[in-house]
């Protein structure tokens, strides 16, 4: 049997437990219609291009959130890991995203000239607010649906017999997030959350962290829906 991403999530990890405690919000996100249409290749090009633009604008705020995590971290090990993520976003991921966008006829000038959508603003500011009001665990939990969710979504699509890869215009996107490199990044995020949680007494805060996780997952689902709605 092919191993799926969910097979390798440590069952007692904080992420695994939060995922299990917010099943409706999580499934609405990772099984969204936008995702299903990516898999079978029926998503409209307009919806995908709008998503690409907003995802780049999202990455700018994502980098800020991880920079805040450097400040909020309790030890040098975590600070270095968060700092590495900031570097990866600003100096690698955003460049790769622009290369991907170029294949869809989008230049950097086109992208930065666009305003942030309501869904982009709502989710990214929610994450930053959680980080500023709370501690590093609050911030990480709000970020987890994005970083780990994409790994699970792509892994699910690769394993799903309904997914069409041959001739699918979104094959490159699926394979990028299903790659061993990105899957390893997601697994490292799960471990890093456990590291911070052990220091910050997360066991006594599960209810509040679950609420944050569920809300962030809902906002991620709204981000997918944004692409569908604005393409109609």
pLDDT digits (tens, 9 = 90+) for 209-231: 999 999 999 999 999 999 888 75
Please tell me which residue in 93, 152, 189, 220 is annotated as part of the active site: 220
Residue 114 pLDDT > 90: yes
- What value does the mean pLDDT take over residues 101-106? 94
Question: Has 31 been annotated as catalytic?
Answer: no
The closest of 82, 102, 88, 106 to 193, measured between CA atoms, is 82
> So where are the chain's domains?
12-230
Residue 5 pLDDT > 90: no
The whole-number pLDDT of residue 1 equals 39
The closest of 7, 6, 25, 82 to 212, measured between CA atoms, is 25
- What value does the mean pLDDT take over residues 117-130? 96
Interval 134-170: pLDDT, tens: 999 999 999 999 989 999 999 999 999 999 999 999 9
Q: Any idea which residue has 């980098």 for tokens? A: 63
CA atoms within 13 A of residue 137's CA, in its CB half-sphere: 19
Token code pair at residue 176: 């990028």
Q: Are 177 and 153 in contact (CB under 8 A)?
A: yes
Rounded Cα gap, residues 3 and 159, in angstroms: 9
Please tell me which residue in 146, 152, 181, 189 is annotated as part of the active site: 146
The whole-number pLDDT of residue 200 equals 83
Rounded Cα gap, residues 103 and 101, in angstroms: 5
Question: Has 220 been annotated as catalytic?
Answer: yes
Q: Count H helices, E strands: the chain?
A: 12, 0
Rounded Cα gap, residues 182 and 203, in angstroms: 28
The whole-number pLDDT of residue 7 equals 61
Interval 26-68: pLDDT, tens: 999 999 999 999 999 999 999 999 999 999 999 999 999 999 9
Residue 6 pLDDT > 70: no
Superfamily of domain 12-230: Heme oxygenase-like (1.20.910.10)
Helix (H) or strand (E) holding 196: helix 180-200
Interval 67-101: pLDDT, tens: 999 999 999 999 999 999 999 999 988 998 999 99
């Amino acid at each position: 049997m092919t191993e799926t991403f969910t097979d390798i999530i440590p069952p007692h990890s904080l992420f695994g437990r939060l995922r299990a405690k917010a099943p409706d919000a999580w499934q609405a996100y990772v099984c969204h219609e936008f995702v299903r249409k990516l898999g079978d290749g029926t998503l409209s090009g307009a919806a995908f291009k709008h998503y690409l633009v907003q995802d780049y604008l999202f990455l700018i705020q994502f980098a800020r959130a991880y920079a805040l995590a450097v400040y909020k971290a309790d030890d040098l090990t975590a600070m270095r890991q968060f700092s590495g993520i900031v570097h990866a976003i600003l100096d690698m991921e955003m460049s790769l995203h622009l290369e991907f966008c170029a294949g869809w006829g989008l230049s950097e000038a086109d992208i930065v000239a666009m305003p942030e959508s309501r869904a982009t603003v709502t989710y990214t500011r929610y994450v930053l607010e959680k980080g500023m009001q709370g501690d590093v665990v609050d911030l990480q939990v709000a970020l987890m649906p994005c970083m780990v969710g994409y790994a699970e979504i792509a892994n699910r699509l690769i394993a799903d017999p309904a997914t069409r890869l041959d001739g699918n215009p979104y094959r490159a996107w699926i394979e990028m997030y299903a790659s061993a490199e990105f899957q390893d990044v997601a697994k490292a995020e799960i471990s890093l959350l456990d590291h911070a949680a052990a220091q910050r007494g997360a066991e006594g805060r599960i209810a509040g962290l679950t609420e944050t996780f569920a809300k962030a997952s809902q906002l991620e689902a709204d981000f997918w829906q944004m692409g569908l709605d604005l393409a109609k």
